[in-house]
Amino acid sequence: MHLAARGLDEVCQAVKHGLKQLQYRPGLLFGFFAETGLAWEELWST
């Protein structure tokens, strides 16, 4: 998605929308972690 935000409110709205979409696609999130080599458990140990 390309965004030329005119204000901070548009940036916040785009972030919220993106996170909402990610909520319904958990495989995408786990795939991201797999590609980066991060483990889910590593994120909660810090």
Kindly state the tokens that stand for 16.
Answer: 């919220």
Residues 1-46 pLDDT 10s: 667 888 999 999 999 998 898 888 888 888 887 888 877 666 666 5
Rg (alpha carbons) of the chain, rounded to whole number: 14
Maximum CA pair distance of the chain? 38
- Give pLDDT, residue 9: 92
- Give pLDDT, residue 12: 92
* CA–CA distance, 3 with 14 (Å, rounded to integer): 8
Q: Where along the chain do its domains lie?
A: 13-38
